[in-house]
Amino acid sequence: MLIKWSLFLAVAFAFLDWASTWKGWKIRLYIAKPATLLFLIIWTIQITGWQSGMVWFGIALIFSLIGDIVLLLNARFFLIGLFSFLLAHFCFLIGFNLEPLPLTLGPLFLLILVGISASRVLKTLRPGVLHVPRGKRFLAAVSVYGLTLTLMVQSALITFFRADWTLPSAILVSIGAVLFYTSDTLLGYDRFVKKVKHGQSYVHLTYHLGQIGLVTGAMLHFLR
């Protein structure tokens, strides 16, 4: 049974977060964004106790929560927040790859397809990143983060080809990973290329839905 009070609170705070970014309610945003991740963490503990590989997805949520708080405190802490999310994606990577990678054409095709998409995104962001103070350092950090994010998305999509992953679990984690990728792409575009009207609202919406998809799919998998 996946329905718990913590899930309802996570969704409620997510809605408050989306409304806060749309309306510019900063004080409510400072409460709603970290609260969403906090109750997602509690939800995963209630359901799974972080047993087996689920512990890696739980730790990923903790690093994501730290990243959320750091980025809310001050924009100057961008690299620290980026590092927190880098660690989160690294944990997702471990959680997805507890078993050997299936050596078939399908996973290879996905690796190439997602890799091409990520390289195009980085090419678009590169001029804007280089224009910020310490641009080369920022570009190196963004490149490493982008590589890790890309590997996470690829690992999520490859669950379709893993015999131990059911179709519903693979669908949920894949949608979640793609939404997370979309969120970070929008964030990068909004910060380094061109401001998007209500861009932060779209970033937060895809981010929270992505996290929910990732952990829900993982729980369905590890609870079998």
What confidence score (pLDDT) does residue 110 get?
A: 79
What confidence score (pLDDT) does residue 61 get?
A: 97
Query: If you average pLDDT over residues 159-169, what whole number do you get?
Result: 94
| pLDDT tens sequence across 30-72 | 899 999 999 999 999 999 999 889 999 999 999 999 999 999 8
Of the candidates 40, 56, 46, 51, which has an alpha carbon nearest to the alpha carbon of residue 7?
40
| pLDDT tens sequence across 166-182 | 999 999 999 999 999 99
Residue 29 confidence class, pLDDT cut points 50, 70, 90:
confident
Computed over every residue of the chain, the mean pLDDT equals 91
Q: What number of H helices and E strands is found in the chain?
A: 8, 0
In order of 77, 107, 175, the CA distances from 80 in angstroms are 5, 32, 27
Query: If you average pLDDT over residues 182-195, what whole number do you get?
Result: 90
Domain count, the chain: 1
All residues at 6 or more sequence positions from 161 whose CB lies less than 8 Å from its CB, including other chains: 102, 104, 106, 107
pTM attached to this predicted model: 0.93
Domain containing 61: what range?
5-222
* Rounded Cα distance, 202 and 58, in Å: 24
Q: How far apart are the first and last CA of the chain?
A: 12
pLDDT at 118 over 90: no
What confidence score (pLDDT) does residue 196 get?
A: 86
What confidence score (pLDDT) does residue 181 get?
A: 95
pLDDT at 134 over 80: no
